[in-house]
Amino acid sequence: MSEAVLDRIRELIQCDVNNRGLARDPHENLFTRCREDFAHACRSIANHPRPSLGLVTGFYVPHAHPPCGETDGPLGALFVARALTGIGTSVMLLADSFCRRPLERGVDASELGDRILVATLPPPGHSWKTFRELEWPSLCEKKAVTHLIALERVGPGRDDRCRNMRGFDVTAQNAPVHFLFEDAARRTPRLTTIGIGDGGNEIGMGKVPPEIIARNVPNGERIACRVPTDHLIVAGVSNWGAYALAAGVAVLRRQRLPVSLFDVERERELLRIMVEQGPLVDGVTAKQTITVDGLPFDDYVEPLRRIGELLEKEQCLTYPERPGPR
């Protein structure tokens, strides 16, 4: 039964939004290439006795005013934290300085308090040798990290340059966090890595052959990320992949999530707070609006609503207790 529910969740998030090219080739594309990875990613967390996630997010939009991070990524990261900390999973959020404030405002508005650590990644000019060899291992040990997740996080191509969907080089504005993913398999204990993306240029997409990305995605040959992860979740919008991952873990653990997580008006309010107080901008329009990837909010949030309906049907939600009679 759990496997069938996971398949239905995955189907809800894998649609090619605005025909950006995730499935241009109907036979071999970014969705079909790693179809089983969604269930494997959920299972890797659900089956671990003490999962602890380090989740990296934040995609810099240089042509925004002011330049800042985009709404796809941080909102999904906040959802994972809200959902999984309630069912026994530790979550640490990691981001560049341009994305720390919106994450902190989201954590505060969610009343997660001290349960969520928001850590700042060193800037590109910082000695990453020191961070990789000393600071990051210390942080992993302190938080007992078992999984490293990249959510809508740009990664380098074969020329070691990071590019956005327009093909513009954004290497200098993003910390080289891909090193942590490349080091994960060599760590003791080994970290399981998960990538969540929607365009071909994010960490994790190295699991898809570059010719498939080039064949499906505009500018694919130029922007394709070379860095793979153990499991890759490809979604129409990266935040949808985060929604699905959290729901899938709960389903496999047979634990119920609060129905409030799937309240679309609450999601709208959290996005508003992060956009206005962050700031964050829509990654497609570069405007400071309550939208994600150019989608009107009601269209954007539809997969979250439908995942909530599915979990309700499967009796995987909890509801607030009603006050008894006096």
- pLDDT tens column, 159-185: 999 999 999 999 999 999 999 999 998
Phi, psi (deg, nearest 5) at residue 52: -140, 120
Q: What is the mean pLDDT of residues 194-209?
A: 97
| Mean pLDDT for the stretch of residues 209-213 | 96
Superfamily of domain 2-314: TON_0340 (3.90.1640.20)
Domain residue extents for the chain: 2-314
* Preceding peptide of 26 cis, ω within 30°: no
Contact 163, 223 (CB under 8 A): yes
**pLDDT tens by residue, 237-256:** 999 999 999 999 999 999 99
- Look up residue 127 and give its two tokens: 């000695």
Q: Is the pLDDT of residue 218 over 80?
A: yes
Average pLDDT, the chain: 94
Average pLDDT score over residue span 106-121:
92
Per-residue pLDDT for 321 more than 80? no
| Mean per-residue pLDDT, 32-48 | 97
Q: How confident is the model at residue 323 (pLDDT cuts 50, 70, 90)?
A: low
Using the predicted structure, report yes or no on whether residue 125 has a pLDDT greater than 90. no
Residues of the chain above pLDDT 90, percent: 89
pLDDT in tens, 47-73: 999 999 999 999 999 999 999 999 999
* Residue 292, strand partner residues: 295
> Do 145 and 52 contact (CB within 8 A), yes or no?
yes
**pLDDT for residue 126:** 79
